[in-house]
Chains A and B, each alone.
Chain A
Amino acid sequence: MFTVALQVIIDFIKDILYFPLWWYSAGAAKAFLFSLNKIRNMARQLGLKIWVANLFRPMFGQYDFAGRVISFFIRLVQIIARSIMMVVWIVLMLILFLIWLALPPFIIYQIIINFS
């Protein structure tokens, strides 16, 4: 039974050694997908596509000239505002992903300088 215990320990050590490799391969992919998913959800929520597609359609069924003009500009403002929100969100999510990538060296750096 000692050999079994030994094997478990060896497996654990292998596990530790694989950790950094995983962090930058499968783990990174996972983190990236996570960010991407968040971005996608936000895109759905903002409905930017719908706004762009309906740019020239008047709002609230106001098909007269004034209605069309006002709608166009309101939609434009909406699109711009929503685009800004979208960009901010994308940047945030990308930062999150970059943190994932930067975390190991940063922590090791911190541990080293604190240790000394």
Chain B
Amino acid sequence: MPNLEKKEKEEDKLQFLICSACNGLGEINGNVCPQCHDLGVVAWFNNSLLYWSKKIDTRAIYHDRLESAFNKFINIILVIFGIIGLAALGWYIWNLDFSSALSRSILASQIFWSKLSFFIEIFWFSVLTNMFLIYRVERKRGLRAKLAHQTYETKEMGVKLFPPANWIEAEKMDKKLKINVAKAFSPEAIESIKKAYRLSTRFKNLEVASAHLFASLFAFSKINIIFARLGTDSKALVERIGWLLADLPVSEGEIYISTELKKYFFRAYKEAYEGKNDQVDVTELLLTLAKDNEKISETLLDLDVDLNKIKNVIQWVRVREIMRGKMQRFRGSAKLKPKGAMDRAMTAMATPHLDQFSNDLTLLARSGYLAPCIGREKEIEEIFRIIEGGRGSAILVGNPGVGKTSIVEGMAERMVEEDVPMILQDKRLVSLSISRLISGVSASEAQERLLIILDEIVRAGNVILFIDNLQEIVGITSGGEESMDLSDVLAQALAKKYFFCLTTAAPADYAKYIENNPLGNVLHKVDVREVDENAAIQIIEAKSGNIEYRNNVYFSYDAVAAIVKLSSRYIHERYLPEKAISILEEVAVYARKQRGEGAVVMADDVANIISEKTGINLTKVTEKESEKLLHLEETIHNRVIGQEEAVIAVASSLRRARAELRENKRPIANLLFLGPTGVGKTELAKTVADVYFGNENNMIRLDMSEYQDKASIYRLIGAPGEAGILTEAVRKNPFTLLLLDEMEKAHPDILNVFLQVMDDGRLTDSLGRTIDFTNIILIATSNAGTQFIQEQVKLGTPGEEIKQKLMETELKSYFRPEFLNRFDGIIVFKPLNLEQVIQITKLMLQGVVKRLEEKGINFSASDQAVEELAKIGFDPIFGARPLRRAVQEKVDNALADYLLRGELKRRDIAVLEPGGVIRIEKAKEL
């Protein structure tokens, strides 16, 4: 049980000392406990002794209430008095006689201050009360203790102190080591405890327990916002809280805070400390209750809320507060940044050419046009290190959408705040547009332009150059043998290190154009990787505010998590966080259009959008659909006759996939269909494609007989520098059925390729891209051992036995055992009997009925005629394959003749009769 161990370890960090005399209650029979002096429980945490010394009982609650009302009253009186004082002063000045020289001099001179008057007296007194008001407000603000956070230095000191073993030691401890946790609680958090106390009074529970606190937390908007974000059903929540409270024992007597609850106060403090918060707020109380209280965490789990979700939502609320603070600070410091091209030291010079071909990013950031950059501190620091270390310029290499530009914009923002290394302070970050630079001129003129611009940059001395998509600059040359490439011009300038340059490129472009170019030598590579899912969630959370505001909708946490999870799983080709952000925007509009303004965006909305984009059914399994899934066999049998075993195997693997019970690292199902030709192998595969992927054409079909030599592997995964047939098809449509016909005919080396696909669910193509195969259904068909199957079926051997024998003997010559082992199911299709062929004939004739219906003509066939047709079409060796031809010849051809001759018209009935005759019943003329 590694989970339990971890929990215990965390508990180690918070060691409780519970008073043995009073059992942690702090009092014995209404008197203060002589041993612990009313503390009851203390906790040792991080070299400090935590204690709780705020009394919470009826008297204390009453006292706090009275005091708060009284204080409000006093403050109002003080404000009123301040106004009266000002009025008195005004009245006094108003009544001065300005016509006399004396009054004018009174106002201006010292006499004003020493002139005696009742009104002036009032005014001075009001100044005193105003001072008193300032004192009260400021002092109250000062009383709230902030959590003492470890700084880097204190952490390094590393003196390990030991917790007190008993109460005598605890009492003797240095005062500096003792922390009154209650002081660090926010007013709201204290209020929630009081509410819990009142709640337990109301329910006549002697002990104020964690359930009371949990219930009382919902009186606070912060907690309600969290649960709204979590999309919790409020009715169910209220009901469950009711159950929790109903579980508690009821009795009469003096109500007290339970020792258990006190422990949660300390745990909440620990949460706040670890979360680097200034105060212990209601959110920390919620967090610790959800984390450490088994009943509450179970209750929440029943509502589909786990600890990680709560943590992420709390983080969400906090990220917004942090961003708001950041924005204010940004505005403050942005004022100091110069508006134009000039630096504050006035050493720069105008750069008219550069300005013509560029955007000033710092200027844009200063005016607030750039979106804030979140969670990319690591990359920005790396760029700073490169620049500061004098190594020159950097290139950000990453796939489109991973946030390269965002990093550069984040840098621009930090440059505005001057939160950058010395060398970057008081500089501009200017983005040069290559397309503008080269448009409309020849290569040599473009070079001239670039040279002038670079010269300007060097002379100005305050420009950091940014070039997006650097590969665009490579290969622009006037063509002569000795003529220079545009990229060489830049490379030479950068090599001198007169200025810094930031550039970006996609990995493939970097490898192809830049790495082996002179530019590659002067640019230091910074890898920008796709963010992981958790970081993407945080980015989405930070971006959501703006989008919510614009669309007037609200995102639930589930929706945000689903956006990241589903887009990373189902949308390939694009990268996080860009793809998630675009879904975020789309889903907000979708929810508003569907349900109007004020709608809450749920995970299902996200699934809908992504389903629409990918064509995969991702929505939650609805009741209607689960009904359909449970009866999948019947649905399949509508198209496939017989082959019970095969249908069951396929149906159950589809159910597993839809209920998300499958392994995510492998394809949805790997199936091998064995059997003679014409028994329904391909038909079943088509049906699966129709049922699961929505369309029977949604399949990639490879005839493996075309891959008989070793070299044909390159057709599958691509020759170097080219895309392969298989990999490209799956890359473009990862949700598909992969049908490998006549598997036994492929070269053994090719089978090895599929070994990898079936085991790991991925394949690397010759371009180095990893293709995801985890959302395909792989079906291989094979005629191997057909003879054997037919013989055994004739002998009446049971199906399981045939399969066993087949694998032990016949198949061995075609497939290696490890290959066969990779299949989830090896399904033997049995030869069809006449009964089944008749049913198939009926199905085929249904097709004829459908086609004729379009022309308004009815068609029917007598049973005898169907049987006759079936006998013609049935062949023990070719199965039902000749049947199609028989239907074509006997039915379709005759009907076509009638239609052409005009003997078969709308509303007529065509009847297929024994002997292959088609009789026509003429409809009445209208």
Q: Which residues of A contact B (CB under 8 A)?
A: 1, 4-5, 7-8, 11-12, 15-16, 19, 22-23, 26-27, 30, 44-45, 47, 50-51, 53-54, 57-61, 103-104, 107-108, 110-111, 113-116
Contacts and interface: CB of A to CB of B under 8 A. Distances in A.
Nearest to B115: A114
B347 A60 contact: yes
The 9 closest A-B pairs by CB, nearest first: A61-B349, A114-B121, A54-B345, A110-B124, A59-B346, A4-B63, A50-B345, A60-B349, A8-B67
Given A7-B63, A22-B135, A61-B460, A111 B124 contact: yes
Contacts of B55: none
A107 B128 contact: yes
Contacts of A44: 336
Interface string B55-69: 000010011001100
Nearest to A116: B116
A1 B125 CA distance: 34
Given A4-B59, A8-B66, 8 more contacts: A12-B74, A51-B345, A60-B347, A60-B348, A61-B349, A108-B128, A111-B128, A116-B116
A60 to B, nearest CB: 5
A53 B345 contact: yes
Chain B: interface size category: 35 or more
B516 to A, nearest CB: 36
Contacts of A50: 344-345, 426
Which of A51, A57, A60, A108 is the most central at the interface, judged by chain B CB atoms within 10 Å of its CB?
A: A60
Contact of B142 (A5, A19, A26, A54): A26
Interface in B116-169: 116-118, 120-121, 124-125, 127-128, 131-132, 134-136, 138-139, 142
B171 to A, nearest CB: 27
A53 B128 CA distance: 47
Contacts of A104: 128, 131
Contacts of A107: 124, 127-128, 131
B70 interface: yes
Contact of A15 (B62, B117, B125, B136): B136
B459 A47 contact: no
A45 B336 contact: yes
B113 interface: yes
B114 interface: yes
A103 B120 CA distance: 16
A86 to B, nearest CB: 15
B799 interface: no
B461 interface: yes
B125 A59 contact: no
A113 B117 CA distance: 10
Contacts of B346: 54, 59-60
Contacts of B350: 60
A5 B66 contact: yes
24 contacts: A5-B66, A15-B136, A22-B135, A26-B138, A27-B135, A27-B138, A50-B345, A50-B426, A51-B345, A57-B345, A59-B346, A59-B347, A60-B349, A61-B347, A61-B349, A61-B460, A104-B128, A104-B131, A107-B128, A110-B124, A111-B124, A111-B125, A114-B117, A114-B120
Contacts of A108: 128
Given A4-B62, A114-B120, A30 B138 contact: yes
B337 to A, nearest CB: 11
B415 to A, nearest CB: 15
A6 to B, nearest CB: 10
Contacts of B117: 114
B121 A115 contact: yes
Contacts of A19: 132, 135
Contacts of A1: 62
A11 B67 contact: yes
A103 B135 CA distance: 14
A30 B350 CA distance: 45
Contacts of B114: 113
Contacts of B349: 60-61
A44 B460 CA distance: 23
B62 to A, nearest CB: 6
Contacts of A12: 70, 74
B127 to A, nearest CB: 6
A12 B59 CA distance: 18
B686 to A, nearest CB: 73
Contacts of A51: 345
A4 B69 CA distance: 13
B138 A114 contact: no
A61 B127 contact: no
A58 B347 contact: yes
A22 B134 CA distance: 11
Contacts of B139: 22, 26
A20 to B, nearest CB: 9
B345 A61 contact: no
Nearest to B116: A114
Nearest to B68: A8
A47 B426 CA distance: 11
A111 B122 CA distance: 8
Contacts of A7: 63
A47 B344 contact: yes
A109 to B, nearest CB: 9
B244 to A, nearest CB: 32
Interface in B317-374: 336, 344-350
Given A15-B136, A53-B345, A54-B347, A113 B66 contact: no
Interface in B433-490: 459-461
Contact of B348 (A15, A30, A61): A61
A66 to B, nearest CB: 16
Given A54-B347, A107-B128, A114-B117, A23 B63 contact: no
Contacts of A26: 138-139, 142
B343 to A, nearest CB: 9
A97 B498 CA distance: 48
Nearest to A4: B63
Contacts of B136: 15
A1 B155 CA distance: 48
A59 B460 CA distance: 10
Which of B135, B138, B336, B426 is the most central at the interface, judged by chain A CB atoms within 10 Å of its CB?
A: B135
A110 B122 CA distance: 10
Contacts of B113: 110
Contacts of B345: 47, 50-51, 53-54, 57
Which of B118, B124, B349 is the most central at the interface, judged by chain A CB atoms within 10 Å of its CB?
A: B124
A111 B121 contact: yes
B116 A57 contact: no
A109 B344 CA distance: 49
A57 B127 contact: no
Nearest to B426: A50
A23 B131 contact: yes
Interface string B502-518: 00000000000000000
Nearest to B60: A4
Contacts of B124: 107, 110-111, 114
A27 B132 CA distance: 11
Nearest to B118: A114
B846 to A, nearest CB: 84
A9 B207 CA distance: 32
Interface string B62-83: 1100110010001000000000
A67 to B, nearest CB: 11
Interface in B749-776: none
Nearest to B456: A61
A98 to B, nearest CB: 15
A15 B138 CA distance: 13
Contacts of A57: 345, 347
Nearest to B345: A54
Contacts of B132: 16, 19
B452 to A, nearest CB: 15
Interface in B294-328: none
A23 B132 CA distance: 9
Nearest to A111: B124
Contacts of A54: 345-347
